[in-house]
C-alpha cells in the first residue's frame, strides 16, 4: 500500500506536465538557438530562415511557441489546484512556486522580443520603460537594461542571452520546488 492524499485526482498531474514541458522547451530552445541570429538587422530573417529553410525548423519553432503557451495554461491550473487544496499553507513551496511564475513570465517576455518584429520592438520599449518608475535608480536601471538610451542591437543580444540562460536557472528552481514538497 502506498500512502497518498485522499484528494489525489487528475488536478495533481499539472506539476508533472510542467516538468515535461520545461524539458521540451529546453530542447527546442537549444535547437532554435543554433540558427537564430540575435542582431537587429537579421533577427527576423533568421526566424524566417528557421521556418522555411531549416529541416523541421517550422515544427521545432511551433513546438517552442506552443509549448510556452501550454506551460502558462498548466501553471495557472497548477496554481488554481494549489489554492483550492490549500497548498499555499506550505509557505516555502508556495514562495518557490511564485518565484518560478515570475521567472517564467520574464523568460516569456524575453522570448517575445527575440523575433524583433514591430510588436516585439515596441513590447521591449514599453515593458522595459516601466523600470524607470522605480524610485531613485529607475532611470539608471532602464539605461543599464537597454545598454544605452534606446533599445538597440545591444538590448537584443542581452535579451537573447538572458532568454537562453534563465531557463536553466528555472530548472534549478523547479528542482528546489520539488525538493521542498
Reported confidence tier of residue 50, pLDDT bands at 50, 70, 90: very high
Place of cell 531549416: 54
Q: What is the CATH number of the domain that holds 107?
A: 1.20.810.10
Whether this prediction's pTM lies above 0.75 is answered by yes
**18: containing domain:** 13-180
Reported confidence tier of residue 12, pLDDT bands at 50, 70, 90: confident
The pLDDT of residue 9: 85
Q: Could you give the CA distance from residue 72 to residue 93 in angstroms, rounded to a whole number?
A: 19
Residue 6 is assigned to a structural domain of this protein: no
The pLDDT of residue 159: 98
Residue 60 is placed in which grid cell? 521545432
Q: How many structural domains does the chain have?
A: 1
Amino acid at each position: 500500500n502506498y500512502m497518498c492524499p485522499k484528494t489525489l485526482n487528475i488536478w495533481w498531474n499539472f506539476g508533472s506536465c510542467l516538468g515535461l514541458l520545461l524539458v521540451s522547451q529546453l530542447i527546442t530552445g537549444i535547437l532554435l538557438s543554433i540558427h537564430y541570429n540575435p542582431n537587429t538587422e537579421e533577427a527576423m530573417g533568421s526566424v524566417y530562415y528557421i521556418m522555411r529553410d531549416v529541416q523541421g525548423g517550422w515544427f521545432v519553432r511551433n513546438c517552442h511557441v506552443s509549448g510556452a503557451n501550454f506551460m502558462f495554461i498548466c501553471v495557472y491550473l497548477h496554481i488554481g489546484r494549489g489554492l483550492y487544496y490549500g497548498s499555499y499553507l506550505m509557505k516555502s513551496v508556495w514562495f518557490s512556486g511564485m518565484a518560478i511564475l515570475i521567472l517564467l513570465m520574464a523568460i516569456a517576455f524575453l522570448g517575445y522580443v527575440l523575433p524583433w518584429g514591430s510588436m516585439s520592438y515596441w513590447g521591449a520599449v514599453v515593458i522595459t520603460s516601466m523600470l524607470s518608475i522605480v524610485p531613485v535608480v529607475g532611470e539608471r536601471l532602464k539605461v543599464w537594461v537597454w545598454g544605452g538610451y534606446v533599445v538597440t542591437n545591444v538590448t537584443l543580444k542581452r535579451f537573447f542571452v538572458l532568454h537562453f540562460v534563465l531557463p536553466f536557472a528555472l530548472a534549478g528552481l523547479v528542482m528546489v520546488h520539488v525538493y521542498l514538497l
